[in-house]
Chain A
Amino acid sequence: MSDAAKAEYWKANIRLVIGCLVVWFIVSYGCGILLAEQLNSIRLGGYQLGFWFAQQGSIYTFVVLIFFYAWRMNQLDRKFNVFEE
Chain B
Amino acid sequence: MSLQLMTYLVVGATFALYIFIAIKSRAATTGEFYVAGKGVPPVLNGMATGADWMSAASFISMAGLIAFKGYDASVYLMGWTGGYCLLAMLLAPYLRKYGKFTVPEFIGDRYYSHTARVVAVICLITASLTYVIGQMKGIGVAFSRFLEVDFSVGLVAGMVIVFIYAVLGGMKGVTYTQIAQYCVLIFAYTVPAVFISLQLTGNPLPQIGLGSTMADGSNMYLLDKLDKILVDLGFAAYTVQKGTTINMFLLTLSLMIGTAGLPHVIIRFFTVPTVKDARSSVGWALVFIAILYTTAPAVGAMARLNLMNTIQIGPVGSPEGNIRIKDVPSWFTNWEKTGLLKHEDKNGDGRIQYYGPSKEFAVKAASFGWKGNEMIKVDRDIMVLANPEIAKLPNWVIALVAAGGIAAALSTAAGLLLAISSSISHDLLKGIFAPNITDKTELMASRIAMAGSILVAGYLGLNPPGFAAQVVALAFGLAASSIFPALMMGIFSKRANNAGAILGMLAGLGSTLVYIFWYKGWFFIKGTEMLANTPDNWLFGISPEAFGAVGALINFVVALTVSNMTAPPPEHIQHLVEDIRVPGTGRQ
Contact = CB atoms under 8 A, between A and B. Distances in A.
Interface of A: 1, 3, 6, 9-10, 13, 17, 20-21, 24, 28-29, 32-34, 36-37, 40, 44-48, 51-52, 54-56, 58-60, 62-63, 65-67, 69-70, 73-74, 77, 80, 82-85
A67 B285 CA distance: 11
Contacts of A85: 586
A81 B162 CA distance: 44
B17 interface: no
Contacts of B293: 59
Nearest to A9: B582
A51 B77 CA distance: 12
Interface string B272-302: 0011100110110011001001100100000
Contact of B276 (A45, A46, A58, A84): A84
Nearest to A28: B78
B367 interface: no
B221 A46 contact: yes
Query: DSSP class of A's interface residues: helix, strand, loop or mixed?
Result: helix
Given A6-B578, A10-B581, A45-B211, A62 B252 contact: no
B231 to A, nearest CB: 15
Interface string B58-78: 000000001000010010011
Contacts of A82: 582-585
6 contacts: A47-B210, A62-B85, A63-B283, A70-B276, A82-B582, A84-B274
B241 interface: yes
A22 to B, nearest CB: 11
B29 interface: no
A54 B223 CA distance: 14
A77 B90 CA distance: 17
Contact of A20 (B71, B85, B241, B253): B85
Contacts of A9: 581-582
Interface centre among A10, A45, A46, A77 (most CB of B within 10 A): A46
B248 interface: yes
A55 B77 contact: yes
Q: How large is the interface on B (under 10, 10 to 19, 20 to 34, 35 or more residues)?
A: 35 or more
Interface centre among A17, A34, A37, A44 (most CB of B within 10 A): A17
B266 to A, nearest CB: 15
A69 B279 contact: yes
B78 A20 contact: no
Given A17-B89, A17-B90, A69-B88, A84 B585 contact: yes
Contact of A59 (B77, B283, B578, B581): B77
Contacts of A45: 208, 211-212, 221
A21 B492 CA distance: 15
Contact of B275 (A51, A55, A84): A84
A63 B276 contact: no
A24 B260 CA distance: 14
A37 B241 CA distance: 8
A44 to B, nearest CB: 6
Nearest to B209: A46
B582 A66 contact: no
Nearest to A13: B581
Nearest to B280: A70
B249 interface: yes
Query: 4 closest pairs, A vs B, by CB?
Result: A46-B221, A54-B74, A66-B283, A45-B211
A79 to B, nearest CB: 12
B85 A21 contact: yes
A66 B89 CA distance: 8
B105 to A, nearest CB: 22
A74 B276 contact: yes
Interface centre among A34, A36, A63 (most CB of B within 10 A): A63
Given A46-B221, A55-B74, A84-B585, A62 B239 contact: no
Given A33-B252, A58-B82, A82-B582, A46 B274 contact: no
B85 A70 contact: no
Nearest to B296: A55
B36 to A, nearest CB: 18
Nearest to A16: B89
Contacts of B381: none
Interface in B567-581: 578, 581
Contact of A6 (B74, B222, B581, B584): B581
Interface in B164-216: 207-208, 210-213
Contacts of B245: 33-34
B95 to A, nearest CB: 15
Contacts of B212: 45-46
B224 interface: yes
Contacts of B453: none
A24 B87 CA distance: 13
B215 to A, nearest CB: 13
A32 B239 contact: no
A46 B77 contact: no
B221 A66 contact: no
B91 to A, nearest CB: 11
Given A59-B294, A60-B290, A29 B283 contact: no
Interface centre among A47, A55, A83 (most CB of B within 10 A): A55
B248 A33 contact: yes
Contacts of A44: 211
Interface string B251-282: 01100000000000000000000111001101
B239 A40 contact: yes
B106 interface: no
